[in-house]
Amino acid sequence: MNDPALASTQQRYYNALWSRSKVVEPTAWALWQTISECLEGKGAVLEIGAGNRPRVPIDGSFFVDLSATAMEALSKRNGHCASASAEALPFVDGCFDLVCAFEIVEHVPDDQSLLREIERVLRPGERFFFSVPLHMEFWTNHDVLAGHVRRYNPAELESLLEEYGLPIERYNITMSPRNSLYRNTSARLVSKFWRLGVALEGWMALPAYSWLDRRRGMNWQYSNFAANARRANNVIVVCRKS
């Protein structure tokens, strides 16, 4: 984000994406079943950086995002929204039964502050759902354009989570395209023709991906995270606060 031109491109793309696309229902994703099961008999829910693609029920849930456009869209659906930083959440200690942050942690410069805040607002014994890209060897211009700060080493990620009292309960390995030529080419096209990229994302890529996601479903694993994720490039993780 030290490159002003790159930062401008990222902001322009995400602002256009949230303002020109509809809110995607949480039920569009395979993860919905797991989240809805975890919410049975629970109270307050927070999702960080949902944009207009939340994974938790919109009505009555809390949302934090830097995009005022995205927050306005969810507010119209009775979401409790705040335009704020994930590294300084505007909530009291231990007030949530579930916290989610999908495709967010890798964007945050100070991920330790983020994890500290999540541990702070999460009630003991409750869960934190999140997803991140793995392995710097898969780093491409696509990561740069998306605003990623890092990709995670699985063993280091597991240790970091344990350090903040958020041990891994289960995880689901997801596979997005790893081919560097494909990812670099797509990033260049989006940066040069961002309006077309926004249109294709909403009309083609998102419907296709959500359909494939539901068809594939969730394949939860409960042990050997570092070993099983050694060749994965993306993962969904469920942590349970100690």
> Alpha carbon 26 to chain centroid distance?
13
pLDDT, tens only, 98-155: 999 999 999 999 999 999 999 999 999 999 999 999 999 999 888 887 889 999 999 9
Residue 197: the pLDDT is 64
Q: Over 50: is that where the pLDDT of 1 sits?
A: no
Please choose, from the candidates 53, 135, 123, 50, the residue with its C-alpha nearest in 3D space to the C-alpha of residue 92: 123
Q: Record the pTM.
A: 0.88
pLDDT tier, 193 (very low <50, low <70, confident <90, very high otherwise): low
Residue 14: the pLDDT is 67
Rg, C-alpha atoms of the chain: 17
CATH code (residue 158): 3.40.50.150
φ, ψ at 45 (rounded to 5°) = -130, 140
Identify the domain containing residue 235 by its residue range.
4-240
Residue 102 tokens read as 């999908």
Among 14-23, 51-60, 143-152, 172-181, top mean pLDDT goes to 51-60
pLDDT, tens only, 29-87: 999 999 999 999 888 999 999 988 999 999 999 999 988 888 899 999 999 999 888 99
Let me know: does 170 contact 220? Beta carbons within 8 Å. Answer: yes
Mean pLDDT of 191-206: 65
Average pLDDT, whole number, for the chain?
87
* Alpha helices per DSSP H over 21-110: 32-38, 68-75
φ, ψ at 122 (rounded to 5°) = -90, 135
Q: Over 80: is that where the pLDDT of 214 sits?
A: yes
Per-residue three-class SS string for 52-71: CCCCCCCCCCEEECCCHHHH
Residue 213: the pLDDT is 86
CB count within 10 Å of CB 113 equals 14
Residue for token pair 């869960």: 127
Q: How many domains, in total, are found in the chain?
A: 1
pLDDT above 70 covers a percentage of the chain that reads 80
pLDDT tier, 200 (very low <50, low <70, confident <90, very high otherwise): low
Residue 69: the pLDDT is 85
Let me know: does 39 contact 98? Beta carbons within 8 Å. Answer: yes
Residues 150-153: contacts with CB under 8 Å, at least 24 apart: 150/106, 150/111, 151/106, 151/233, 152/106
pLDDT tier, 94 (very low <50, low <70, confident <90, very high otherwise): very high
Let me know: does 53 contact 77? Beta carbons within 8 Å. Answer: no
Maximal CA-CA distance, the chain? 48
